[in-house]
Amino acid sequence: MDVHGGKDAAVLVPLFEDPRGALHAVFTRRRHDLRRHPGEISFPGGRRDAHEALLDTALREAHEEVGLPPSDVDVLGALPPTPTFVTNYAIYPFVGLIEHGFAWVPQDTEVAEVMELSLDELRAGYGERRLVRRGIPFRTPTYEAGGHVIWGATARILGELIGRLDATTR
């Protein structure tokens, strides 16, 4: 599927089930000293290299950013592409199942933190919030869990994921 955006990017939405059966998603917090999206929470991913398939981009970036080998990911499918409004990216999300208990290896030049957040907690923390970005206030859908606030394209991807999961359990 095509989506508005001048640059293609892909992300991996890594999911795992904990020993109690609760589903979790893996996110990264970008370093605060980065030029683009500093301090923001996102799924592992990045810009597509020339002649690279989008799925390969998502898997490569997850390996580079958090040390997750592509062979450890059972790709379940894709979610609809999501545009970014400020940076003009078209983000293609791929959902992958991984084993619980992976030892993350964050890329220290880009990733400040790797977070494993419960989808139940994120679902319960959904709300519309007023945020301020570059001095401009705006209202946007957000998800909150463990003191972390997810917004923007990542929140839209997460909303699509939760909506699909909820539809399958009805």
The rounded distance, in Å, linking the Cα atoms of 135 and 6 is 25
The rounded distance, in Å, linking the Cα atoms of 8 and 54 is 8
Flag whether pLDDT at 17 surpasses 90. Answer: yes
- Of the segments 31-40, 95-104, 141-150, 161-170, which one has the largest average pLDDT value? 95-104
Flag whether pLDDT at 100 surpasses 80. Answer: yes
The rounded distance, in Å, linking the Cα atoms of 87 and 129 is 21
Contact assessment for residue 97 and residue 56, using Cβ atoms and an 8 Å cutoff: no
Flag whether pLDDT at 1 surpasses 70. Answer: no
Give per-residue pLDDT as tens, 107-153.
999 999 999 999 999 999 999 887 777 677 777 889 999 889 998 89
Contacts of 108 by beta carbon, 8 Å cutoff, 6+ apart: none
Nearest to 107 by CA among 35, 16, 29: 29
Contacts of 74 by beta carbon, 8 Å cutoff, 6+ apart: 96, 97, 98
Domain 7-119 is in which class?
Answer: alpha beta
- Every domain of the chain and the residues it spans: 7-119
The rounded distance, in Å, linking the Cα atoms of 62 and 105 is 10
Question: What confidence tier does 14 reach under pLDDT thresholds 50, 70, 90?
Answer: very high
DSSP H helices, the chain, are 54-66, 119-124, 152-168
Question: What confidence tier does 3 reach under pLDDT thresholds 50, 70, 90?
Answer: low
Nearest to 111 by CA among 64, 55, 165: 64
The 10 Å CB-count burial string (b at 16+, else e) for 55-88 is bebbbbbbbbbbbbeeebbeeeebbebbebeeee
The pTM for the full model equals 0.90
Give per-residue pLDDT as tens, 50-94.
999 999 999 999 999 999 999 999 999 999 999 887 777 889 999
Give kind and range of the element (H or E) at residue 29: strand 23-30
Give kind and range of the element (H or E) at residue 94: strand 89-97
